[in-house]
Amino acid sequence: MKMRLVVAVVVIAAIIFGASLLVFLSENDFSTKSSMTYYTYSIVKTYPHDTKAFTEGLTYSDGFLFESSGLNSTYGAVSSLRRVDLTTGDVVQEYTLPSQYFGEGIAIVNDTIIQLTWQSHIGFIYNKKTFVLIGNFSYPTEGWGLTFDGKQLIMSDGSDKLYFLNPTTFQRTGQVKVHDGSTNIANINSLQYINGDVYANIWQTNQIAIINPQTGQVKAWIDLTGLPAEVTVYSNPNAVLNGIAYDQQNNRLFVTGKDWPSLYQIKLVPTSSPALSGS
């Protein structure tokens, strides 16, 4: 009798526990709940930007913006490397590339500036202070975005991959595939390394992906839809969002686009909405 009673109690307890577990799991759906973070933005300050700057690379150092402007003779234009006064938008120093080269992403490594080109498979090395060309290197893919994490260069080629390069030899040392869960994220364009993460423009969208460079996992999305410059350049399909710069000392994040009349200092604003066209 006692054994039967014990068995009955165990069975009832198991039923209660199972029911409780089902309720807990239904209320906490770990299989579908996402840890993804989403941001929109607020504009902190607006600065002038050269509407003839087809922005392909952007970074901030020593109080100035450094910008790579694209296009080449095929488009009836030339590319350039620029030092830009943030406040006025004036180009205070410029190096013009030979007309066959289409300038792309840039990164600053110590006292040098590294600049990619789009389809020429060649990168250029400049003296940061004088803009004197001091060397070049080659790579097998297209060149799109470039940034430096303090130890290695991180490069994109318009695919769903980030490549890692030795900053001295420029040899590839590794790569990761960028993904949001099980979805691969292609068209990775301009890059900026910020506090351990890679911020990446997704070409022809209004989205910036925040990527874990060790795993390639997208940690967060920034939706920049509605920046005022979009209204001005809407008739130009090539005038897309591109260009991310960060002032580490003052914690200022800047964004702009190709041929945009403005560059924006923005503040990220968390949002619960995942309605992002780039994700």
Instruction: Annotate 163-186 with DSSP letters as a single string.
Output: EEE-TTT--EEEEEE-EETTEE--
Token pair for residue 135?
């060397």
Q: List phi, psi (to 5°) of 230.
A: -60, -35
Over range 158-171, report the average pLDDT.
97
C-alpha to C-alpha distance for 170 and 94, rounded to whole angstroms: 24
What's 272's DSSP letter?
A: S
Give me the domains of the chain, ranges plus CATH numbers.
37-271 (2.120.10.30)
CA atoms within 13 A of residue 109's CA, in its CB half-sphere: 21
Which residues 6+ apart lie within 8 Å of 136 measured at CB? 122, 123, 124, 125
Residue 245 burial by Cβ neighbours in a 10 Å radius (0-12, 13-18, 19+): buried
Token pair for residue 273?
């909405």
Q: Kindly report the pTM of this predicted structure.
A: 0.85
pLDDT given for residue 233 in this prediction = 61
Mean pLDDT of the chain: 87
Residue type, 271: T
Residue 48 CB: number of other CB atoms within 10 A?
Answer: 15
Over range 117-123, report the average pLDDT.
98
C-alpha to C-alpha distance for 116 and 147, rounded to whole angstroms: 11
pLDDT band at 234 (very low <50, low <70, confident <90, very high): low
pLDDT given for residue 236 in this prediction = 79
User: Contact, 105 vs 122, CB < 8 A?
Assistant: no
Residue that wins the pLDDT comparison between 79 and 34: 79
pLDDT in tens, 246-262: 999 999 999 999 999 99
Choose among 136, 99, 102, 135: nearest CA to 120: 102
Residue that wins the pLDDT comparison between 217 and 2: 217
Over range 14-29, report the average pLDDT.
39
pLDDT band at 268 (very low <50, low <70, confident <90, very high): very high
